[in-house]
Structure 1
Amino acid sequence: MKADSAFTTSAISDITPALLAIGRDGFPQALIGALRRVADVGHCMVFSFAGPCSAACLLDVGNIPTGRDLGIAYSEHFHRTDPNRDAVFEGQARTVPIVLPAFARRMYSDSYRKMFFDDSDIVDKFASAIWVDDTCFYVNFYRITEQGRFSRDQIQRLTAVAPAVSAAVARHFQRDAAPDHDPMGRLKTVFATAEPFTILTGREKEVCLRILSGLSSEAIAADLGIGLHSALTYRKRAYDKLGISSQNELFAIALRLVSSTRQLN
């Protein structure tokens, strides 16, 4: 149990710089840097769906030279034959990020495999998605032949951070979002004004905010001048009140609230 908790804490801490870069010009590089720390991701592409017939490439960053061409091709045609498409749209009614099925080449058509895997040297893919109102943000993580396929541990780490990464991407690419010059300040405002965070005590909010900053339980205890047992107790009480059981769920809730609270912009 402790090993799993440490594993998740490490993965979440790795993506903290990307979370704090939301709304800034440096977000793409912060994101790919974080993903490389998490699981040696080679390339990341983000697509949005505003409906079954509409797709757009929002982000193309990493080590695939033909990424721009892939983004155009996917947006214009190949999104209609993506085997993840059904799972993405079936998840529209859900309020949590979606982790898509494991990659398998046989899932794709011959023309899709040729362009996206053979010609582009992609050997593995992991994907997640999140719906915000009527828009879906579809996040894809790739590795090329030189890197080899994702290992089991790397897939576990990507699964751990996928909800937070998806929510961060959604926040960054909200069309009407203003740049977040003080992202932690915005999170503090959400904790003070938005449900369900308003039900937390002051100390529980302080602990949760430090979790979102990427601090370990030991670092939180030291920062607040309390014992480790007390820090863990405040965390447990907060999670119980929020109806969650993990850090990635806390990230997803916080970033979704920042995305949907228009008056903060």
Structure 2
Amino acid sequence: MELVIRNEYDPLLASTIMALATPELPQHFSRLVKHLTAFDNLIIIAYHGEQRPMVLYREYTDPVVYLPMDSQYLGGAYLLDPFYREHLRGGVEGIRRLMDVAPDHFRRTHYYKNYYQQTTLLDEIAIFTSLTEGVTLTACLGRDRSSGKPFNKREREAVEQHAITLAGLMKKHWQDYRPQDAMKAAPAPLEERLQGVLKQEHRIRLSPRQAEVALFILRGHSSLSISLHLGVSLQTVKVFRRQLYAKCSISSQAELFALLMPLFARLTASE
């Protein structure tokens, strides 16, 4: 069986290499990956700094999976995405599973309940490679309602075993890719942008730390997780949360999501 798999893989790899620098590469890449692990959808995204990401390729079994992509994800929801946060770490290579890198309360977030579940996605694995400094390519393999089941351990390991090759193919094919806004100055930190739009839209004045805590909450971090990231006590985080809620005249995490999520289109850094 191992020999059969290898004999089928090698011609697919050869044809993918031959398709490098041609418009057909993404389709060949897709067939190669699908030979390793069946998926319902595939999207290749270029992240560049804190600018709005660029979709380079997408395919799907059920079109509903990408219906919210252009309006919601690229419209600002990507700022809360765990894969985007991985990109911001810099120099990330290899395989990442969404739920392995997501914060501990990710499934409680507005992003998860009102964007991610809308896509019907059940599981996502991403192949990461750094193209240049500040530019990350990800090929996200998804399972949605089409198959109705997440990737199992064997399927994840099959992709992971070939991660170097797959990342290398992506890097080689898109080696000349340059974002349209590559020459733009780096935007202000996200916390500052959130402070500015809250002040402008709602006359709410948050301190830098309160804005930072608000973003941690939106991404799905518990108070304990926030305390570990900020290097402060759990009690201090609870004080920050109380202050944040008081300034926003709210009393729950759900109200915080309802207040801030509509503003995220104003926080994107592509304009």
TM-score, length of structure 1 as denominator length:
0.54
Partner amino acid, structure 1, of 2:140: N
Q: Work out whether 1:98 is the aligned partner of 2:99.
A: no
How far apart, in 2, do the equivalents of 1:80 and 1:11 lie?
A: 39
Q: Please name the residue that 1:120 is paired with.
A: 119
8 A contact 2:40–2:146 mirrored in 1:
no
RMSD, aligned α-carbons: 3.1
1:28 is displaced (CA, Å) by 2.5
- Deviates further, 52-61 or 168-177: 168-177
What is the rounded CA distance, in whole Å, between the counterparts of 1:10 and 1:155 in structure 2?
21
Matched, 1:65 2:91: no
Q: 1:45 to 1:116 in 2, by over 3 A?
A: farther
In structure 2, the partner of 1:13 is: 10
SS of residue paired to 2:27: helix
Deviations 1:9-28 (A, max 9, x none): 57963751333322222222
Note if contact 1:46-1:139 (Cα within 8 Å) is conserved in structure 2.
yes
Letter in 1 for 2:45: F
Match of 1:258 in 2: none
Q: Distance in 2 between matches of 1:130 and 1:48?
A: 10
User: For residues 150 and 156 of structure 1, do their structure 2 counterparts lie closer, same or farther at Cα, with a shift above 3 Å needed?
Assistant: same
Partner of 2:206: none
Shift of 1:125: 0.8
State the partner residue of 2:73. Answer: 74
Q: Which runs of 4+ in 1 moved over 6 A?
A: none
Q: Is the 8 A contact 1:41 1:143 kept in 2?
A: yes
Aligned-residue sequence identity (percent) comes to 11
Q: Structure 2 CA distance, aligned partners of 1:87 and 1:49? A: 10
TM alignment of 1:170-189, pairs within 5 A: 170-175=171-176
Deviation at residue 112 of structure 1 after TM alignment: 2.6
Q: Does the Cα contact within 8 Å between 1:47 and 1:138 map onto a contact in 2?
A: yes
Alignment partners' CA distance in 1, 2:49 and 2:111:
21
Matched, 1:145 2:145: yes
Q: Give the distance between the partners of 1:115 and 1:52, measured in 2 at CA.
A: 23
Q: Is the 8 A contact 1:57 1:75 kept in 2?
A: no
Greater gyration radius: 2
Whole-Å separation in 1 of the counterparts to 2:77 and 2:40: 21
Find the counterpart in structure 2 of residue 162 from structure 1. 163
Correspondence 1:48 to 2:49: no
Q: Which runs of 5+ in 2 are unaligned?
A: 179-271
| CA distance in 1 between partners of 2:152 and 2:22 (Å) | 31
Aligned residues: 170
Q: Secondary structure of the residue that 1:45 maps to in structure 2?
A: strand
Q: Give 5+ residue unaligned stretches, structure 1.
A: 178-265
Query: SS at 1:103's partner residue?
Result: helix
Describe the shift of the 1:99–1:176 C-alpha distance in structure 2 as closer, same or farther (beyond 3 A): closer
TM-score (norm 2): 0.53
- CA change 1:118–1:7 in 2 (3 A) is farther
Distance apart, 1:141 and its partner CA = 0.5
Instruction: Give 2:230's aligned residue.
Output: none
